[in-house]
Amino acid sequence: AALENGGITSIGLQGLGGVGKTALALKLAEQLKERYPDAQFYLDLKGSGPLPIPVANALAHVIRAYYPTAKLPESEGELRGIYLSVLHHQRALLLMDNVKDEKQVEPLIPPASCMLLVTSRQHFTLPGLFARSLDSLPPADACRLLLTIAPRIGDQAGEIARLCGYLPLALRLAGGALAKYANLKPAVYARRLTGVRERLKLIEASLSLSYELLSTELQERWRALAVFPDTFDEAAGAAVWELGTEAAQESLGELLAFSLVEWNEPTALYRQHDLARLFADSRLSTDEREAVRQRHSAHYQSVLAAVKALYLKGGDEIIRGLELFDQEWTNIRAGQASAVARAGEDEAAARLCIDYPDSGASVLSLRQHPHEQIKWSESMRDAARRLKRRDVEGRAHGRLGIAYKNLGENRDAIEFFEQHLAIAREIGDRRGEGQALGSLGNAYENLGETRRAIEFFEQHLAIAREIGDRRNEGATVNNLGIAYYSLGETRRAIEFYEQALAIAHEIGYRRVENAALGNLGLAYADLDESKRAIDFLEQSLAIAREIGSRKGEGNALNNLGNAHAALGESRRAIDFYEQALIIAREIGDRRGEGHALWNSALALDNLGERTQAIASAEAALKIREQIEDPNAAKVRKKLEEWRGE
């Protein structure tokens, strides 16, 4: 009624755990979904647990429904802007379940065209929120619920409902137990419930009775499920239990019958209610908890390896891999964190600290922000030192360097690349030596030391050809093209790009194909062959989107803007630059952000919008100075000209 009469855009259902907030919200969402045909979202924010979902993750969840291959920024403010942008003019329904407090949900308030449903154990207010508090069921309704679940409860319904505190979750558990066990008399169950009522809270009493009805084996398995911070599938349950999938499915079915796990049929995923998870975890012994964490950690490392395998197959499998990654990211993170926590004392955990970044390298480079890449790489390096794995220690230094380079911190990156190079030469790792040399070339190219970069690239190319490493050969030939383009030798650069493209086609290396096509487009634009340039850049953009490379996508958009600007299409160019700017900020690509701002400044000036051009150029200059971009002087000079200095 409030929605009909008052222009309501946010509804909050508040009350204690187990009172039925989520059930009611889902029912309401079902009734409202026709009003919001563009999208419906459900997200458990886990506000009642020890690890609430960060606001940034919730924002990213919605954004990825529209951009599934996006690698997003860490900054909540930047994510908030993208969130509002994707929901602009959308008729979308967003159910944010199990909210901790107003701080967790306020940034999730969508545009006015959308509807936000919120459930929380906390009572709070938000701008425009129509809030209602839910209490326990009236006695008559509580009895009706029990009798619907298990009609044989009969005249004991009133007493059992009272002992359950008229709390829907407790009533469901009690009714489920009596429906499951025909030989359990309702009067006996009521007496048992009375016995534990004095020493446990009501929900704990209900859970205790359901738990006690399980076999010893099933109790052990249910306790183990507390290791999952999020949803899980049958394979994960089987791994934690050390069972075959069919046996795990049977046990999960038993637990479903007791209402001790929940099942989402469309996603084929299970979960423990947050209250049940806390209860189960409290009954795990120290040894049990350690064992299930080890198995959980090992399983999700294998899931990450499966994600990588799907991604490397290419085509539609790329999207499948990224979808699996997004679905399991909370568990993957928990598995890696668990390995880190145990790595100092447990060699198997130390190996997992190495295997996690190794297994997920292809996808993590797209999905992880550089700051998180640094943390994982540091754990990898520490584990390598503990296990005396110099080869792994070298790779970890290389990954640290790449993360710092992507943040625009090229001087720090060079130090890590030099450590990688020293270790690779020490142990005779020619592939690692080549990779370190190539990375040093990239860093020096970013700093404008192009001749020095070329020396490193040529050394890398020689090693790649010596060991038959065609992937790195293609990447390095492409890098040489970039270096010669920087020196103004565009025709020579094109020769290298064409070699890189041929290698990429030969071995099916889509990343190098994407990069080489983009660079060819940039080169032909430089030669005033804008139509040809646009053709190459559009091919590059399509591949970048296919393989989920947000950096490649941003580069292609930036360069498409340049090509259209050369044709005098400044407004269209600005559209491309704005898209590139959003992506650069999503992935923390400071160099790409600087390029998009500077290019926008030039296009705005061509349109006679000098004030806006100066503002954009000033932002570009600030970034270029911070990352020691050699092109900063060019921006500074143009600003002086525009200001009349």
- What tokens were used for 298? 């090992």
**Which element (helix H / strand E) includes 635?**
helix 632-643
For the segment 294-321, the average pLDDT, to the nearest whole number, is 89
Q: Examine the pLDDT at 155 and tell me if it is beyond 90.
A: yes
Q: What is the pLDDT of residue 201?
A: 47
Q: How confident is the model at residue 263 (pLDDT cuts 50, 70, 90)?
A: confident
- What tokens were used for 20? 């039925």
From 410, 408, 417, select the one nearest 438 (Cα to Cα).
417
Is-contact 50 301, C-beta < 8 A? no
Q: What is the pLDDT of residue 6?
A: 66
Q: Examine the pLDDT at 602 and tell me if it is beyond 80.
A: yes
Q: How confident is the model at residue 551 (pLDDT cuts 50, 70, 90)?
A: confident
Highest mean pLDDT among 354-368, 580-594, 613-627: 613-627
Angle at 201 between CA 194 and CA 190, to 5 degrees: 20
Q: What is the pLDDT of residue 205?
A: 63
b/e code 82-110 from CB counts within 10 Å (16+ = b): bbeebbeebebbbbbbbbbebebbebbbb
Q: What is the pLDDT of residue 197?
A: 47
For the segment 63-76, the average pLDDT, to the nearest whole number, is 84
Is-contact 202 19, C-beta < 8 A? no
Q: Examine the pLDDT at 199 and tell me if it is beyond 60.
A: no
DSSP 232: B
Q: Provide, rounded to the nearest whole percent, the portion of the chain with pLDDT above 90.
A: 62
Q: Examine the pLDDT at 106 and tell me if it is beyond 90.
A: yes
Question: Cα–Cα distance between 130 and 507 in angstroms, integer?
Answer: 58
Provide the 3-class DSSP secondary structure of residue 10: strand
Chain segment 471-504, per-residue pLDDT in tens: 999 999 999 999 999 999 999 999 999 999 999 9
For the segment 389-398, the average pLDDT, to the nearest whole number, is 96
Q: Examine the pLDDT at 470 and tell me if it is beyond 90.
A: yes
Q: What is the pLDDT of residue 198?
A: 36
Q: What is the pLDDT of residue 200?
A: 47
Question: Cα–Cα distance between 391 and 428 in angstroms, integer?
Answer: 9
The set of long-range contacts for 216-221, using a CB threshold of 8 Å and a minimum separation of 24, is 218/251, 218/254, 218/255, 220/288, 221/251, 221/255
For the segment 379-401, the average pLDDT, to the nearest whole number, is 96
- Phi, psi dihedrals of residue 607, rounded to the nearest 5°: -90, 0
For the segment 532-541, the average pLDDT, to the nearest whole number, is 93
Is-contact 120 53, C-beta < 8 A? no
Q: Provide, rounded to the nearest whole percent, the portion of the chain with pLDDT above 70.
A: 97
b/e code 591-608 from CB counts within 10 Å (16+ = b): bbbbbbbbbbbbbbbeee
Is-contact 294 350, C-beta < 8 A? no
Q: E strands, 151-298, where?
A: 262-264, 269-271
Q: How confident is the model at residue 164 (pLDDT cuts 50, 70, 90)?
A: confident
Is-contact 36 115, C-beta < 8 A? yes
More confident call, 195 vs 467: 467
For the segment 228-253, the average pLDDT, to the nearest whole number, is 94
Question: Cα–Cα distance between 438 and 419 in angstroms, integer?
Answer: 14
For the segment 42-46, the average pLDDT, to the nearest whole number, is 91
Chain segment 415-452, per-residue pLDDT in tens: 999 999 999 999 999 999 999 999 999 999 999 999 99
Question: Cα–Cα distance between 156 and 597 in angstroms, integer?
Answer: 72
